[in-house]
Amino acid sequence: MTSKYHDLLLSFSLSLLFSSCFSAGPIAHYCGKGLNDTNGNTTLSNDISYVLADLVARASAGGFAISSYGGVRSEKVYGLAQCRGDVDARDCSACLADAARRLPATCPGEGDARVWYDYCFARYEVGVDFAGAADFGLATILINTQNATNPEAFDAAAGTVMGRAAARAGGAGAGFGTEEERFDAIDVTIYGLAQCTRDLRPLMCAQCLSSAVGMFREYCRFRQGCQYYDIYFMYELR
């Protein structure tokens, strides 16, 4: 079946993100920082497996986890995993388990591996403790190909929803917010969600949200749905 979404690849700082179609599987992945010695490096492979297993176990229970394992910093594996704040524990766990299974196979021999799903995000990197740092270099946007009826009014309503969701996510260090509003012209509810990863401080989260708002204004006007993946920032019709 043809998806009503198409993906828009955003490339910043010469970084390239490969994105798949909107589906229950991975939405996008990134592989980078090739490692010189991966053949037979069972220690590194085991360290990656340990970090991913730890992330799945702890993030499945709490929705978020950071982890690290290994020897000297240059060879240490750092990881992060998070589920969407409106996803239940079972779906969170299933999403993270799939991410942990796919990442090493999708990015063999790479020291920076990331995968985005609709329900979760997971990442590991060798030699870099990235927790707490915003990454504006990679993002992908999925855009509903259908324009809304009464587009100007819809755009204003969607903007209000996303502005309120962003305010909730950025307020008091919450990091997560949702909002919804009826749009009677087409008898739907606009549901919006904004979420930063929990390792980000409030100011950094606010900067990420501001960047996402700018992307929405540029690429998502009049669309019946739009989803931005760097942080989670999206709206859909219900």
Residue ranges covered by each domain of the chain: 5-131, 141-237
Token pair in block for residue 119? 């329900």
Q: What percent of the chain has pLDDT over 90?
A: 72
H-type alpha helices, 29-150: 42-62, 89-106
pTM: 0.85
Give the residue from 231, 227, 235, 238 showing the smallest Cα distance to 23.
227
Residues in the chain: 238
Average pLDDT over residues 135-150: 87
CATH topology of domain 5-131: Killer Toxin P4; Chain A (3.30.430)
| Angle, helix 151-170 to helix 202-219, in steps of 10 degrees | 170
CATH of domain 141-237: 3.30.430.20
Q: What is the pLDDT of residues 63-89, one digit of tens each?
A: 999 999 998 888 899 999 999 999 999
Closest by CA to 229, choosing from 125, 80, 110, 119, is: 119
Pair 22, 142: CB distance under 8 Å: yes
pLDDT for res 138: 80
Q: Say how many C-beta atoms besides its own lie within 10 A of residue 190's C-beta.
A: 24
Residue 160 reports pLDDT greater than 70: yes
Provide the mean pLDDT of the chain.
87
Position 21 scores a pLDDT of 36
Q: What single-letter amino acid sits at 17?
A: L
Give the percent of the chain with pLDDT over 70.
88
How sure is the predictor about 23, in pLDDT bands with cuts at 50, 70 and 90? Answer: very low
pLDDT at 226 over 70: yes
Contacts of 133 (CB under 8 A, 6+ apart): 204
Q: Answer yes or no: is pLDDT of 214 > 70.
A: yes
